[in-house]
């Protein structure tokens, strides 16, 4: 395919087999020619690796990155893909509630290892971006070896919850060695003021421990939940364009 705004890309489904682990049916997109700038792992919303998530990977490839969209429900629904309606949300939340941090991190390690074995990406650090529940998971994946920059879009409940149980995901901030950018809408009902305050305080405290690492929370004015996605009712073009710009700026600075 060819992205209308930039360079030609190659994209297709890519199966990542695993010994005694679920196979991962990922969406793999990269520049059609030349070496990629770096690799980015894309973690979807509860609606699965659907057309919009695939378009995110394709847009990253059009910017010169190799992007791999990971199925976060690989253990319960490996080919999960639903629309942005009430039925899709209900089904997605059922699978979400069966995800564990341990399982997600196992899958992410496999995906990162696969990315770092691709031509032009051997052993290089990777980036990660996640949306909604995928944003929450991105905060966990940020602590893995080899992840140099993470962009968490409206990952809710990180201050009070960890998938599968255990301390809240936000408590793992000190173990994240790369840069971390968190973004959410000011009018997001899933990220109320106490949650945003907890995230801001944790990022500030962690930044004081190591000022060299980026720790930033960006509130998008007038935006609700899911504002980055053109297929959702809450899509907001201006904050979405700014979120995309900030993400690319982060990856350019840390990944090259």
Residue pLDDT, tens place only, 19-60: 788 899 999 999 999 999 999 999 999 999 999 999 999 999
More reliable by pLDDT, 4 or 17: 17
Lowest-confidence segment of 5-9, 77-81, 152-156, 242-246 by average pLDDT: 5-9
- Residue pLDDT, tens place only, 78-135: 999 999 999 999 999 999 999 999 999 999 999 999 999 999 999 999 999 999 999 9
Q: Is 136 a catalytic residue?
A: no
Q: Give the per-residue SS3 of 8-61.
A: EEEEEEEEECCCCCCCEEEEEEEECCCCCCCEEEEECCCCECCHHHHHHHHHHH
| Model confidence pLDDT, tens digit, residues 186-215 | 999 999 999 999 999 999 999 999 999 999
The residue with greater pLDDT, 3 or 203, is 203
pLDDT of 148 reads 98
Look up 225 and say whether it is catalytic.
Answer: yes
**Catalytic one among 26, 184, 188, 229?**
188
CA distance 144 to 108: 8
Tokens of 43: 């973690």
193: number of Cβ within 10 Å: 8
Tokens describing residue 96: 């979400």
Q: 76 — phi, psi (to 5°)?
A: -120, -25
- Asked if the model's pLDDT at residue 4 lies above 50, the reply is no
List 26's β-bridge partners, or say none.
14
Among 95, 128, 136, 225, the one annotated catalytic? 225
Structure confidence at residue 2 as a pLDDT band (50, 70, 90): very low
Q: What angle do CA 160, 209, 102 make, to 5 degrees?
A: 40
Among candidate residues 132, 182, 184, 229, the one labeled active-site is 132
The upper half-sphere exposure of residue 97, i.e. CA atoms within 13 Å in the direction of its Cβ, equals 6
Whether the predicted pLDDT of 167 surpasses 60? yes
Is 151 one of the catalytic residues?
A: no
């Amino acid at each position: 395919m060819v992205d209308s705004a930039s360079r030609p890309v190659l994209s297709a489904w890519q199966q990542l087999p695993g010994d005694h682990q679920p196979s991962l049916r990922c969406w793999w997109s990269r520049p059609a020619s030349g070496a990629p700038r770096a690799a980015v792992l894309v973690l979807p919303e509860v609606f699965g690796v659907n057309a919009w998530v695939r378009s995110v990977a394709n847009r990253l490839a059009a910017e010169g990155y190799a992007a791999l969209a990971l199925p976060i429900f690989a253990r319960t629904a490996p080919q999960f893909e639903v629309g942005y309606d009430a039925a899709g949300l209900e089904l997605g939340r059922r699978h979400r509630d069966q995800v564990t941090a341990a399982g997600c991190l196992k899958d992410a390690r496999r995906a990162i290892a696969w990315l770092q074995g691709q031509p032009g990406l051997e052993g290089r650090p990777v980036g990660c971006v996640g949306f909604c529940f995928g944003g929450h998971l991105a905060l966990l994946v940020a602590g893995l070896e080899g992840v140099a920059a993470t962009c968490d879009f409206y990952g809710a409940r990180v201050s009070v919850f960890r998938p599968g149980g255990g301390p809240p995901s936000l408590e793992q901030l000190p173990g994240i060695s790369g840069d971390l950018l968190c973004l959410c809408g000011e009018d997001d009902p899933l990220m109320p003021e106490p949650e945003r305050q907890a995230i801001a305080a944790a990022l500030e405290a962690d930044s004081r421990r190591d000022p060299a690492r980026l720790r930033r929370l960006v509130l998008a004015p007038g935006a609700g939940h899911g504002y980055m996605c053109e297929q959702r009712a809450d899509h907001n073009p201006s904050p979405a364009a700014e979120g995309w710009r900030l993400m690319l700026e982060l990856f350019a600075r840390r990944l090259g």
